Amino acid sequence: MGFAMNVLEALAFVFVGVIGVVLLLAIVLFIADRIQTEDAIRRNYPVIGRFRHLFSALGEFFRQYFFAMDREELPFNRAQREWVKRAAEGHSNTVAFGSTRNLTVIGTPTFANDPFPPLDNQFACTEPMVIGATARTPFTAKSFFNISGMSYGAISKPAVQALSRGAAKAGVWLNTGEGGLSPFHLEGGCDVVFQIGTAKFGVRDTDGKLSDDKLRTMAEHENVRMFELKLAQGAKPGKGGILPGEKVTAEIAAIRGLNVGQDGISPNRHAEVDDWDDLLTLIVHIREVTGKPVGIKMVVGTEPAVQDLFDTIVRRGADTAPDFITIDGGEGGTGAAPMPLIDLVGMSVREALPLVTNVRDAAGLKDRVRLVASGKLVNPGDIAWALAAGADFVTSARGFMFSLGCIQALKCNKNTCPTGITTHDKRFQKGLVVEDKYVRVARYAKDIIKEVETIAHSVGVAEPRLMRRRHVRIMQDSGRTVPMNEIYPSVQTAAE
């Protein structure tokens, strides 16, 4: 009995002590909140006001897991992410009961099935396509679906390694992004597209100008198949790349030509390119130096600008044309960009792609200039739509990030990515096991290709690139769908 009383007295003493500490802490916080002048809520509601910041910070996570419906979230909803996850894990993507997609939303595309599609043993399959037929070393691309630009620096070493190995396994290309070529891009043995950003990382001299010697060195890598001259990125048109200094390690600094911890800021455009003539001159120069296909990445702002580009090509001759044009939509993503540019600048790929396709075809350059669509295209329907609208290829960055395990934590710019994809913190990188993740990357790419071929089979064509705008119907405000070729008539034939 005495022992029990002693225990109770000890517990009571501890309890009183804890209460005392809590009260003392509350008094300190009360005083601190009252005398500070930066936060009006905390000043007017001491201690309690602190919960507002806590709940705001945690809100995005609670909404994602508990409150948002499958089709509600932005930038990617749960249904989109789950499709990628199941594909990457090798699970079946068949669903039961019915679609959860609201097909009455204006702008929603649906595909027009053929009443007599090919038999199952006549399944649609993808044909390789040549890019840069006039270059000394053309590139025959095996897949219409490929990995978009993500630089080593913006994403981690194990992420690049997994993408490289997964791309090789799936037979798709990997774009380096503007951060230069790292050994990790090459280690998987995949086809690589070297992106030349406005800062010329990886191919610049000591003055920051384009170096022909370094271009030749990059071109000597057999796996570097093409060069992409980046004019703009969908998430931040008119502004260069931003790599926060906390991500610039010694290794990344050496690859890019920066100091450790220095912010990697790219100019908002190529200093030597003032107009379309200058651009074509630079394209021809890079193609001559490297011997490999050279294209551009751009964001469409207006139709006249696109028309001026192709008018300039026609005036100067098809030999001066870019071998491919990557059209990045204004809905594209990035690791770090000002919100006004992410939200408000740049034409959506849904509008830009049919526009550029028509201008290119009207100029008679359909077989000379390949079109690559990019910008929030991660599921089979997105890719099938792009091919029907006129794209020869589709690239995705965030789709492949999801295949690596991205949970849309929205921490890409903070070096605290919990899945190890966009961080250089070794503690977080341990979660990204290359031997497991590269298989997921390959599965995702292969499943996309398979499902797009299934859609092509359903609409009655023998190959995904044979899908046309007439095969897609777009929901209108009247509640009726209209064939896409009536909204964006093709310059080829009325039936396109």
Residue 82 lies in a domain: no
pLDDT tens, residue by residue, 332-390: 766 666 766 666 677 899 999 999 999 999 999 999 999 999 988 989 999 999 999 99
Q: Locate all alpha helices (DSSP H) within 212-294, ordered by sequence.
A: 212-219, 250-256, 276-290
Q: Which of 234-248, 278-292, 315-329, 395-409 has the lowest mean pLDDT?
A: 234-248
- Domain-ending residue, one of 22, 38, 67: 67
Residue 86 included in any domain: no
7 and 147 housed in the same domain: no
Domain span holding position 172: 121-487
pTM equals 0.86
* pLDDT interval class at 393 (50, 70, 90): very high
One domain for residues 272 and 341 = yes
Q: Which run of H or of E encompasses 192?
A: strand 191-196
Does residue 29 sit in the same domain as residue 136? no
Mean pLDDT, the chain, whole residue set: 86
140 lies in the same domain as 51: no
**In the predicted model, is pLDDT for residue 70 greater than 60?**
no
Read off the pLDDT of each residue in 20-30 and give the average, rounded to a whole number: 86
Residues 46 and 141 in one domain: no
pLDDT band, very low/low/confident/very high, at 494 (cuts 50, 70, 90): very low
Structural domain total, the chain: 2
Tell me, yes or no, whether 153 and 56 share the same domain.
no
150 and 274 inside one domain: yes
Same domain, 260 and 361: yes
Q: What is the CATH number of the domain that holds 238?
A: 3.20.20.70
And the tokens for 452? 């797009």
In this structure, the answer to whether residues 281 and 362 fall within a common structural domain is: yes
Q: How confident is the model at residue 283 (pLDDT cuts 50, 70, 90)?
A: very high
Kindly tell me if the per-residue pLDDT of 240 is higher than 70: yes
Whether residue 185 sits in one domain with residue 53 = no
Mean pLDDT of 404-427: 80
Condensed to tens digits (0 to 9), the pLDDT of residues 77-88 reads: 667 777 777 888
Residue 244 has pLDDT above 70, yes or no: yes
Distance of CA 303 to the CA centre of its chain: 24
Average pLDDT of the residues in 423-428 = 82
Q: Residue 175 — φ and ψ, nearest 5°? A: -90, 135
Query: Is residue 292 included in any domain, yes or no?
Result: yes
Domain's final residue, options 67, 85, 109: 67
**Same structural domain, 391 and 479:** yes
| Gap between the Cα atoms of 168 and 222, Å rounded | 14
Greatest pairwise CA separation for the chain in angstroms? 103
Query: Does a structural domain hold residue 114?
Result: no
Same domain, 6 and 140: no
Domain boundary among 34, 50, 67: 67
